[in-house]
Amino acid sequence: MQASILIIYTGGTIGMVQNSKSGLLKPFDVENIMAQIPQLGSVNSKIEAISTRSPKDSANMRPSDWQEIGQLLFDNYEKHSGFVVLHGTDTMAYTTAALSFMFKNLSKPVIFTGSQLPIGHTRTDALENVMTAVEIALLQKNSVPIINEVCLYFGNKLFRGNCVTKISSQNFNAFDSPNLPPLVESKLDLEVNYSLLKASNSNKLNFNVALSEKVFVYKMHPSITEQQFSQTCAFVDFNVLILETYGSGTLFNNDWLLTELLKLRKKGVEIINISQCAYGNVSGLYEVSKYMDDLGVISGKGLTLEAAIAKSMCLMASETSKMNFKTLFITDLAGELS
């Protein structure tokens, strides 16, 4: 297929301008962004740009926004060979994780990017991020795209969309993928890590728009009281509880915690163990937390929190995957456990 890129603007600092009264940054429009990247005119391929209904600060993104972005990608999938999505950095890793699970059989690149400084700023990082994201989306071998998945490009690195997390609100290197090296690094040349790439597939693209919102995250810490924990469990409606635990997945073993977790398991709640450490895995090495295995708590291994939330929301959205939740959760569905 002839190379052609669709840029989808969803909001974020990249396209923001200063509100003349308050001086605060707010999203502007896609024409403004395109006008400020004249370099796109020298790319030897067709480039089109559209935007979501109401571009926003990504702090305002909800699952309905992931669904809207997914639907735009799905509706335009056949017309283009690759996609670049401009998105705010604050929740970009949640969106990329969600879309990586919502799509099955992608055979084209979907590259998210954004910037720390607006495109109109003299020291903006937007130009490099957008131009390289476009260049990566255009990479082909024998007329077939090299990248076949949802990714995030930022600070000279292309990350798998469900392994990446925002690590800095200040640095131009705002993202990291703690447990998976970058798929591509932008140096003088684009250095592609071929051994990590997904093989191209010719199966029909599938877009699962349904998402369950009954997923709750509890960050554990030494001063949590029984009352805080038990009241949250009693009054919040969830069917997946993601516990952010310590180190390699350890957690205190007070009687009250065991009792609360057992109550949840009896109600059919799935409990997932995710470490607060960015690097490494939930390993189950320590006696103190053996009770979690006994209760059927699922190891989140080296998943990012964003990926654990998105995977749970996707799996809980269909009756069939809900019934096989544990088996599917520990299975590598979209490269998230690689």
Please identify which of the residues 13, 89, 113, 124 carries the catalytic annotation.
13
Segment lying near ligand ASP (by CB under 6 A), choices 51-59, 72-80, 96-104, 289-297: 51-59
C-alpha distance from residue 290 to each of 113, 264, 307 (Å): 41, 17, 24
Stretch that binds ligand ASP, among 8-16, 28-36, 43-51, 178-186 (CB under 6 A): 8-16
116 interacts with ligand ASP by CB under 6 A: yes
d(Cα 32, Cα 325) in Å, to the nearest integer?
Answer: 45
Here's the x/- map for ligand ASP, 206-245, by CB under 6 A: it reads as ----------------------------------------
Cβ distance to ligand ASP smaller for residue 177 or 321: 177
**Which residue, 332, 331, 25, 313, is CA-closest to 160?**
332
Residue 330 in contact with ligand ASP, rule: CB under 6 A = no
Reply yes or no on whether 13 is catalytic. Answer: yes
Dihedral pair phi/psi, residue 35, rounded to 5°: -65, -25
Is residue 118 close enough to count as binding ligand ASP by CB under 6 A? no
- Give the span between the Cα atoms of 269 and 218, in whole angstroms: 14
Task: Count CB atoms within 10 A of the CB of residue 257.
Answer: 19
Q: Which two tokens stand for residue 29?
A: 């429009």
Which span sits near ligand ASP by CB under 6 A: 57-65, 75-83, 131-139, 281-289? 57-65
CB-based contact 1:143 (threshold 8 Å): yes
> Nearest distance from residue 21's CB to ligand ASP, in Å?
19
CB 264 within 8 A of CB 325: no
For residue 306, state whether it binds ligand ASP (rule: CB under 6 A). no
CB nearer ligand ASP, residue 112 or residue 325: 112
Binding region for ligand ASP (CB under 6 A) out of 7-15, 75-83, 94-102, 209-217: 7-15
Q: Per CB under 6 A, does 58 bind ligand ASP?
A: yes
Beta strands in 155-223 (DSSP E): 157-160, 165-166, 175-176, 184-186, 190-192, 206-207, 215-219
Q: Which residues bind ligand ASP (CB under 6 A)?
A: 11-13, 57-59, 88-90, 114, 116
Catalytic residues: 13
